[in-house]
């Protein structure tokens, strides 16, 4: 197996600066195709910043600066000539707070694909496929023309996930996707992730170590802008190699 087929994303000596503040320090990381990769660590350790680099949302931050290289398959997405619009189609982002558009459930799903030039005749199939993938189709199939704002918080988050999937990305970034949800909604999101990893590479940021333990295949522990430890999730949680990792997952800090 060649190197390109062993990773979906590869970070080489990645550093990120907000002005004079360094938010990521010399990050080296490989993420495999069709795995759920977790990023855990205390607040302000660099987890969410890392996600903004992976789909170049960091470009919108004044005085931000990136060093190093980030490969998506065999393409360096930090190359100034890289097509950022195409990148954000390939690498979708779901934020912690669900933010559906104040439109119908259906319009939330078709607006971006329509703007991207997808044929109108494909839209109904796209709507159903995306909602099925996010495991919310059965709950909303008879209310597609209702306002998305009428959905519960958990349903809104799964709709936002479906909206991301409607763009047919290769990688899905999830930044604390269940932080404001009840346990039942959280369980539904996690169940959805296990199904999605059959077709997508998923990167999950969570401050909930129990969620990371349940829902990820491999994990990186970030502390003070650096990676302390990377490994298979079961190994990291049962026999961590670094005492700081053990202290964090044991709740001694964070």
Which pLDDT tens digit goes with each residue over 89-100?
999 999 999 999
Q: How far apart are the first and last CA of the chain?
A: 39
Indicate whether 64 belongs to any domain: no
Residue 8 lies in a domain: no
State the Cα–Cα distance between residues 84 and 96, nearest whole angstrom. Answer: 23
pLDDT by residue (tens digit) across 22-35?
Answer: 999 999 999 999 99
Mean pLDDT for all residues in the chain: 94
Q: Is residue 124 part of a domain?
A: yes
Residue 130 lies in a domain: yes
Q: What is the DSSP string of 124-181?
A: HHHHHHHHHHTT-HHHHTT-TTSBGGGS-HHHHHHHHHHHHHTT--SEEEEESTTTT-
Read off the pTM: 0.93
Angle between helices 183-196 and 123-133 (to 10 degrees): 120
Q: How confident is the model at residue 147 (pLDDT cuts 50, 70, 90)?
A: very high
Give the pLDDT band (50/70/90) at residue 1.
very low
* Domain-embedded: residue 157: yes
Confidence of residue 115 (pLDDT cuts 50, 70, 90): confident
CATH number of the domain to which 128 belongs: 3.40.50.300
Domain for residue 29, yes or no? Answer: no
pLDDT of residue 4: 44
Number of domains present in the structure of the chain: 1
Tens-digit pLDDT profile for residues 33-71: 999 999 999 999 999 999 999 999 999 999 999 999 999
pLDDT score recorded for residue 117: 86
The parent domain of residue 237 ranges over: 34-54+84-249
Q: Is residue 68 part of a domain?
A: no
23 occurs within a structural domain: no
Dihedral, CA atoms, 206, 211, 217, 218, nearest 10 degrees? 40
At 6 the pLDDT is 86
Nearest CA among 91, 30, 29, 101 for reference residue 56: 91
Residue 3 has pLDDT above 80, yes or no: no
Calculate mean pLDDT across residues 170-181. 94
């Amino acid at each position: 197996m060649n190197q390109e087929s062993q990773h979906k994303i590869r970070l080489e000596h990645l550093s990120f600066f907000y002005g004079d503040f360094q938010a990521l320090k010399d990050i080296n990381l490989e993420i495999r195709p069709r795995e759920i990769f977790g990023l855990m660590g205390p607040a302000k350790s660099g987890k969410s910043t890392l996600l903004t680099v992976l789909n170049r949302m960091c470009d919108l931050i004044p005085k931000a600066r990136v060093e190093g290289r980030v490969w998506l398959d065999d393409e360096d997405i930090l190359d100034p000539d890289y097509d950022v619009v195409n990148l954000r189609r390939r690498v979708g982002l779901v934020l912690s707070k669900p933010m559906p558009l104040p439109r119908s459930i259906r319009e939330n799903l078709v607006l971006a694909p329509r703007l991207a030039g997808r044929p109108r005749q494909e839209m109904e199939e796209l709507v159903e496929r995306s909602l099925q993938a996010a495991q919310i189709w059965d709950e909303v199939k008879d209310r597609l023309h209702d306002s998305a704002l009428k959905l519960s918080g958990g349903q809104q988050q799964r709709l936002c996930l479906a909206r991301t999937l409607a763009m047919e990305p290769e990688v899905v970034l999830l930044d604390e996707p269940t932080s404001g949800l009840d346990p039942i909604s959280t369980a539904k999101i996690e169940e959805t992730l296990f199904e999605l990893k059959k077709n997508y590479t998923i990167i999950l940021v969570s401050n909930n170590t129990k969620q990371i333990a349940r829902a990820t295949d491999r994990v990186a522990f970030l502390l003070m802008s650096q990676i302390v430890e990377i490994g298979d999730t079961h190994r990291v949680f049962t026999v961590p190699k670094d005492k700081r990792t053990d202290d964090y997952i044991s709740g001694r800090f964070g």
